[in-house]
Amino acid sequence: MRTIRYREAIREALLEEMDRDSRVFLMGEEVGHYQGAYKVSEGLLARFGESRVIDTPIAESGFAGIGVGAAMTGLRPVIEFMTWNFSFVALDQIVSNAAKVYQMSGGKISVPIVFRGPNGAAKQVGSQHSHSVEPFYASVPGLWVCAPATPRDAKGLLKTAIRDANPVVFLEGETLYNVSGEVPDEGDEELIPFGEARTAREGTDCTVVVWGRPYYETMKAVEAISTALEIECEVIDPRTVRPLDTASIVQSVKKTNRCVVVHEHWPMGGPGAEIVDTVQREAFDFLDAPVERVASLDIPMPYASHLEDTVLPTESRIRSAIEKVCYA
Amino acid sequence: MRTIRYREAIREALLEEMDRDSRVFLMGEEVGHYQGAYKVSEGLLARFGESRVIDTPIAESGFAGIGVGAAMTGLRPVIEFMTWNFSFVALDQIVSNAAKVYQMSGGKISVPIVFRGPNGAAKQVGSQHSHSVEPFYASVPGLWVCAPATPRDAKGLLKTAIRDANPVVFLEGETLYNVSGEVPDEGDEELIPFGEARTAREGTDCTVVVWGRPYYETMKAVEAISTALEIECEVIDPRTVRPLDTASIVQSVKKTNRCVVVHEHWPMGGPGAEIVDTVQREAFDFLDAPVERVASLDIPMPYASHLEDTVLPTESRIRSAIEKVCYA
Amino acid sequence: MSISDELLKLYRQMFVIRRFEEEAARAYAQGKIGGFLHLYIGQESVAVGACAAIEKDDYVMTTYRDHGLALARGMPPGVAMAELHGKDAGCSRGLGGSMHFFDPERNMLGGWAIVGGHLAVGAGVAFRSKYLDEASVTLCFFGEGATNIGGFHEGLSLAGLWKLPIVFICENNEYAMGTPMSRTSPLDDLSVKAAGYGMLGDSIDGHDVQVVRDRIRSAVGHARRGDGPTFLEVKTYRFRGHSMSDPGKYRSRAELEEQKRRDPLKVTRLQLADAGIDESALVALEESAEQEIADSVSFAESAEPAREEVMRASVYAPSEQR
Amino acid sequence: MSISDELLKLYRQMFVIRRFEEEAARAYAQGKIGGFLHLYIGQESVAVGACAAIEKDDYVMTTYRDHGLALARGMPPGVAMAELHGKDAGCSRGLGGSMHFFDPERNMLGGWAIVGGHLAVGAGVAFRSKYLDEASVTLCFFGEGATNIGGFHEGLSLAGLWKLPIVFICENNEYAMGTPMSRTSPLDDLSVKAAGYGMLGDSIDGHDVQVVRDRIRSAVGHARRGDGPTFLEVKTYRFRGHSMSDPGKYRSRAELEEQKRRDPLKVTRLQLADAGIDESALVALEESAEQEIADSVSFAESAEPAREEVMRASVYAPSEQR
Ligand SMILES: Cc1ncc(C[n+]2csc(CCOP(=O)(O)OP(=O)(O)O)c2C)c(N)n1
Ligand SMILES: Cc1ncc(C[n+]2csc(CCOP(=O)(O)OP(=O)(O)O)c2C)c(N)n1
Ligand SMILES: [Mg+2]
Ligand SMILES: [Mg+2]
């Protein structure tokens, strides 16, 4: 194992898969000469040249569509959205085209494509630039949706995504890019399968389900609560929200009898509510308390820093929710 | 009371509101000369002229944006999407612009606009034309989302929507347009407030929550089950999924101790899962069985008629779900 | 092939499409076909002329009005008709329907129902040709109604910028549903738009299949040589409503009759007669085509319905060994 | 107002914007401002020239690079600076931030951060003027990087079709983030695109505020007379990075120095000197502007932070009596 940043984990996955398969290319705004708006693709242009690391004009729907056409005919595009906010102008390409071609061609044409970029809030970038897009894409059959929190998951899932035969929505995070973590040594290739949750912490008192950026707030909260109240949480990170590893979540809840779901997307619906639905259905007789959720407030993201902190799921809100389900 | 079709109810609401307020206009593809792709706007061009009933080119994002600009400066646009499937190319206008302007202007500029058109499957129109869009729009604070099932609700809610100061996503249904039902007599103006559920049927044994098109399948199922098994369902139609009248739903579940949620949108997330989340949280101690959901299958809509019937929420699936929660 | 042999072949293709569409309309009226049905009647010369201008390795794709192009590209009428009937033997296994004809073996890549949504996809297919340094060219068809939407702009912008090997074929049939172009564009000649994308533009009459073929052939050559895309407006006309549910009240009977005088089948049939093909040969050809269509209907009617297992298996493609 | 009085006024506005931006950059470096900060330094002549060409009832809107336009339209620097500091006294009450300046009292309608997303909105504002038969005209600003996106196309298509009273002002500052236009467009002159929308097009040098003002004035007159929109490419240059996080490695120091010789403030200051305004008058003007900016900073720093109640109350607007 080595320690690298999330940004480098993504970059390594891209580099290794591009080395392995000449059909893989990276396309998006500023991915080449600029080395990526968040420096994720640093060095890739130099290594693979302009034919495989392709700077685009600002035309998300256009280059997403180009990716779909290229994937339909055998290439393996990785399409970068500078942030997922800009995918909204390309949503039709993802939902109506990428997710549908395999089905509407009667299973004759697959679309092996990855759409990736940072999801969710960054820091004070305002309401148009702070969307957590899970509720939009995770609802759509035909898509997979990955939302890794750690460098290791980011790397292993991105490699799987690039080799998958279907369109994958791959959600990174601007504030995650600087996070450090362990990844397998060079040469030890790791592909993380979709739909397998990771147990980030074992515990007996409460199951906490979390993915993406709030994973870190959650880990702080559960450690604090362990110290303060001797409540031991089991933290389950599904890593992919479509497919969703409901079995692992339910199994854990059957053990702990309590559950809190933490996510950055707005409260209404989305994978957050879906997990609650599954847990109450499949672990009904095991629940000692209603399942609680901690989400961003139901408010467009404000600019002012202290207000943004109020809107995002905070350590203290996570802690309160755990205390609540534990009647602590 | 008079009996009219859903299509006419929408048309009456448009006509009355356009009569009442000259700032209201209708814009969309084929709304004028063609009288509406589904004849919803029949006669409106003749009555209000080309300046207020405006045929557009095929440019959903363009005319949605025109609506936003007009609404910001005091007009009250009603923007028709020929179907909600075509809103995906305009989603950014709705989510990033219409829903955000009030907030990002610090509450200085409101956007009183209605986006309306048929939602969900029609009949055999395939996967690109059969989306139920609630999971996309209901997740967004800043929007209201109406999904009336009956002519009366359609008329009363659309009038409210047009007078509201905020962007409203108004979901009709191609197969609903021909449904007949009672509406108040001419001259008896009725505005139905957002966020107030309608109890469509009283019952003591099971609460069934449903909106939009599957309302009719549900009513058939609950009558059949009443006759066959003497199970009496209470049917609650929230009518608006944002705001959602959780109080009425929870109150009913506290009485019946059982709950089934029926919707046409895909299973993952959306208002369907949100309702389950609320019910298990707020009526936890009252539930005698897990909440069940009946949704479209997690599959892009196929063309063949018998397969489409398999995918949509059917009377028999609704019945099974009710029987299941009633352990019948 | 002699010139008149080739023209006979094109005429037969157009005739097959015409009769296919008529039988589809009949089956629709009988309730054997559901959903939307957009007929290509009146526009046959465009798809047939275009397909005569390209090679086996080239690609084609179009809108929901896709039967003509699929047939021109060689899809067996039975397979096409089976799709309309929602049968497993259909080109999209009964899952796609009229609007989503796909035939990857013949490089027919759909059948797309969101206006403007497939133009960038077409550019992506052309991107692949360039990426792999292959000579194939993509023909991407769409209606004049698509020229105002963002997808059109982005597809053309990227194709023009990167000089992708694609020909954008705008079938201007004068109407988008019930709306004449005079109410959706300030332009008379859409090819004016090409300059804004730094690409070649042209506008041609589409009623003569040979004119279409020849002009597209030169655009294809341009693309194949690496000189970039062409935006081609092809002026045509549809004789039926937008789809089966459209009574077409927005145009006069006189207008329609006037247009029918330029029916592409009539135009070509006259050219064949002028070239010395005698009536009996034409009638024989038409009869064989009739038979082919009749066979396609029986094939479709007796085929097995689309299958639930196939539907369930067509949400996600199996992934190759990782 | 004499010609040199007016020019003095324009110079002062440009100077205020320049100094505002410099102070904003400083506050950002000190961590007093967060998020994205896109400076207008180098482009002042465009917003100032444009605002000199219009009336009180006319509307303006632009991208996230919006400080200059807001100030040119008369927003008090203190209110603008307070917004950057996330204060309740800011133009958007600290909820919008740098990218979302709104000032409805001055018909400054944002402040939009999705590239291309506000062009149709601008067309909608112009639509309203036409709907109400008012004479007002809308100026809609955007970068050259926006010309490939669908929102550009749809906004221009509808405005051109309906002859809406709007002027589309494309500030071509040569780069979209790190990408020069040579890598995003096959065109040298973007105004070529106008013909595809049936509207007037022109391309002008933007470094001279008077040239900008005069050209926009004539486009505004055209729009006000009901003759439709103009697409105007204004060639300009930004001296700073795209935003504060951009070190600008994609261009050479030599290029930047060369461009600074055409600094619009320099250009106008020379014109004023040529017109006989003496140095001391200019210095006095600059000092008063400095003071204004210094005051804006103190105002912003001492103002109350943005308020949670305001945030909670700004999700939905209260609806009028039903
Ligand atoms: C984005 C979008 N908006 C609206 C529609 C509905 N619609 C289907 S076809 C059509 C008219 C298209 O006209 P044109 O492009 O001229 O093609 P034609 O039907 O004449 O072949 C419309 C409005 C759609 N499919 N997609
Ligand atoms: C749809 C969309 N895609 C990408 C971005 C990220 N982005 C913000 S500004 C910008 C460059 C814009 O360049 P240009 O239009 O020339 O304006 P300038 O910044 O030069 O004023 C990009 C890519 C965005 N905001 N919106
Ligand atoms: Mg047409
Ligand atoms: Mg620029």
Which residue of D36, D99, D148 is in closest CB contact with A58? Answer: D148
Residue in B closest to C92 by C-alpha: B303
Chains in contact with chain D (at least 3 beta-carbon pairs closer than 8 A):
A, B, C
pLDDT > 90 in chain C, percent: 98
Cβ-based contacts under 8 A for chains A and B: 146
Nearest CA in chain B to D98: B104
What is the C-alpha separation between D46 and D241, in angstroms, rounded? 18
Under an 8 A CB cutoff, do B127 and A104 touch? Answer: yes
Residues of D with CB below 8 A from A305's CB?
A: 34, 86
**Spatial contact of C120 and D148, defined as CB atoms under 8 Å apart:** no
Interface partners of chain C (CB pairs < 8 Å, 3 or more) are: A, B, D
pLDDT in tens, C65-110: 999 999 999 999 999 999 999 999 999 999 999 999 999 999 999 9
Beta bridge partners of B76: B24
* Closest chain B C-alpha to C201 CA, distance in angstroms: 22
Residues C104, B316 contacting (CB under 8 angstroms): no
Contact across the interface for C196 and D198, Cβ inside 8 Å: no
Encoded tokens for C12: 């037969």
The 10s digit of each residue's pLDDT in D260-305 is: 999 999 999 999 999 999 999 999 999 999 999 999 999 999 999 9
Q: Using a CB–CB cutoff of 8 Å, tell me whether A174 touches chain D.
A: no
How many Å separate Cα D263 from the centre of its chain? 16
Residue D313: Cβ-neighbour burial (10 angstroms; 0-12, 13-18, 19+): middle
- What is the spatial distance between Cα D138 and Cα D125, in angstroms, rounded to a whole number? 7
Q: Determine the Cα–Cα distance for residues A8 and A21; give it in Å rounded to an integer.
A: 20
Ligand nearest to the CA of D172: 4
Helices then strands (H, E): number in chain C? 11, 8
* Span of B232-236, C1-5, D39-43, D155-159 with lowest mean pLDDT: C1-5
Q: How far apart are CA A62 and CA D153, in angstroms?
A: 13
Instruction: Say which DSSP state D306 is in.
Output: P
**C145 interfaces chain D, CB cutoff of 8 Å:** no
**Exposure string (b/e) for C1-21, b if CB count within 10 Å is 16 or more?**
eeebeebbebbbbbbbbbbbb
Q: Say yes or no: CB of residue B168 within 6 Å of ligand 1.
A: no
| Residue D322: band (very low, low, confident or very high) from pLDDT cuts 50, 70, 90 | very low
How far apart (Å, rounded) are the C-alpha atoms in residues B118 and B177? Answer: 9
Q: CA nearest C55: which of C243, C173, C223, C241? A: C223
pTM: 0.98
Atom from ligand 2 closest to the CA of residue D147: 15
Per-residue pLDDT at C322: 43
d(CA A126, CA A136): 19
Among the listed residues D231, D142, D228, D230, the one whose alpha carbon sits nearest the alpha carbon of residue D189 = D231
Across chain C, mean pLDDT equals 97
Provide, rounded to the nearest whole percent, the portion of chain A with pLDDT above 90: 99
Cβ atoms A269, A290 nearer than 8 A = no
User: C151: which chain D residues are within 8 Å (Cβ-Cβ)?
Assistant: 150
CB–CB contact B96 D117 (8 Å): yes
| Closest ligand 2 atom, residue D151 Cα | 1
- pLDDT value for C321: 47
3-state SS of C27-53 is HHHCCCCCCCCCCCCCCHHHHHHHHHC
Q: Is the CB of D46 under 6 A from ligand 2?
A: no
Distance from CA of C272 to the nearest CA of A (A): 38
Say if the Cβ atoms of C99 and B300 lie within 8 Å.
Answer: no
Three-state DSSP at B225 gives helix
Residue C228 confidence class, pLDDT cut points 50, 70, 90: very high
Residue D172 alpha carbon to ligand 4 centre in Å: 5
Asked if residues B38 and B123 have their Cβ atoms less than 8 Å apart, the reply is no
Query: How confident is the prediction along chain B (328 residues), in pLDDT tens digits per residue?
Result: 999 999 999 999 999 999 999 999 999 999 999 999 999 999 999 999 999 999 999 999 999 999 999 999 999 999 999 999 999 999 999 999 999 999 999 999 999 999 999 999 999 999 999 999 999 999 999 999 999 999 999 999 999 999 999 999 999 999 999 999 999 999 899 999 999 999 999 999 999 999 999 999 999 999 999 999 999 999 999 999 999 999 999 999 999 999 999 999 999 999 999 999 999 999 999 999 999 999 999 999 999 999 999 999 999 999 999 999 999 9
pLDDT at D165 over 70: yes
CA distance linking residue B76 with residue D128, whole number of Å: 10
- The span from the CA of D8 to the CA of D11, in Å, is 5
∠ CA C249-C253-C259, nearest 5°, is 115
Cα B183 to its chain centre, rounded Å, is: 17
Summarize pLDDT for A44-96 with one digit per residue, the tens.
999 999 999 999 999 999 999 999 999 999 999 999 999 999 999 999 999 99
* Torsion region of A320: left, alpha or beta (phi above 0 gives left; psi -120 to 50 gives alpha): alpha
Say what the pLDDT of residue D36 is. Answer: 96
How many C-beta atoms surround the C-beta of residue C180 within 10 A?
Answer: 14
Contact of C232 with C201, CB cutoff 8 Å? yes
Q: Which residue of B has its CA nearest to C311?
A: B302
Percent helix, strand, coil in chain D, to 5, is 50, 15, 40
CA distance B94 to D112: 14
Residue D278, judged by CB atoms within 10 A of its CB (0-12, 13-18, 19+), counts as exposed
Residue among C91, C157, C317 whose CB faces A59 most closely: C157
Chain A partners within 8 Å of B282 (Cβ): 290
Q: Which of B132, B117, B61 is nearest to B94 (CA)?
A: B61
Put simply, whether B255 touches C (Cβ < 8 Å) is no
Nearest one of B104, D244, D93, D62 to A126, comparing CA atoms: B104
Helix A214-229 and helix A315-325, axial crossing angle in degrees, nearest 10: 50
Beta-carbon separation of A274 and B271 below 8 A: no
**B-chain residue closest to D156, CA distance:** B62
Distance between CA atoms of residues D58 and D74, nearest Å: 13
Please identify, by atom number, the ligand 1 atom nearest to the C-alpha of residue B29.
Answer: 23
Q: Per-residue pLDDT averaged across C286-309, rounded?
A: 98
B105 CB near a chain C CB, below 8 Å? no
**Angstrom distance (rounded) from CA B61 to CA D144:** 20
Please work out whether the CB of residue A308 comes within 6 Å of at least one atom of ligand 2: no
Q: What are phi and psi of A221, to 5 degrees?
A: -65, -45
Q: How many CB atoms lie within 10 A of CB B299?
A: 20
CA distance B6 to B278: 31
Read off the pLDDT of each residue in D128-154 and give the average, rounded to a whole number.
Answer: 98
Contact D151 C154 (CB under 8 A): no
Neighbours of ion ligand 4 (CB under 5 A): D 143-145, 173, 176
Average pLDDT over residues A241-247: 98
- Assess contact for D231 and D199: CB atoms under 8 A: yes
Give the closest ligand to the alpha carbon of residue A30.
2
Residue that is written with structure tokens 């400054």 in the block: D108
Q: Where are the alpha helices (DSSP H) in chain B?
A: 6-20, 44-48, 60-72, 91-92, 101-104, 134-137, 151-163, 214-229, 246-256, 270-282, 305-311, 315-325
Of C97, C116, C177, the CB nearest to B124: C97
Q: How close, in Å, is residue C185 to chain B by CA atoms?
A: 8
Q: Using CB atoms, which residue from C110, C120, C132 is nearest to A61?
A: C120
Cβ atoms B326, B292 nearer than 8 A? no
Ligand 1 atom having least distance to the Cα of C38: 19
The DSSP string of C115-147 is TTTTHHHHHHHHHHHHHTT----EEEEEEGGGG
For residue D321, name the pLDDT band (cuts at 50, 70, 90): very low
C85 in Cβ contact with C27 (< 8 Å) = yes
pLDDT in tens, D172-185: 999 999 999 999 99
Mutation target to probe the C interface, by most C beta carbons within 10 A, among D114, D144, D147, D148 is: D148
Chain B neighbours, 3+ Cβ pairs < 8 A: A, C, D
Owner of token pair 């071609």: A101
Q: How confident is the model at residue A101 (pLDDT cuts 50, 70, 90)?
A: very high
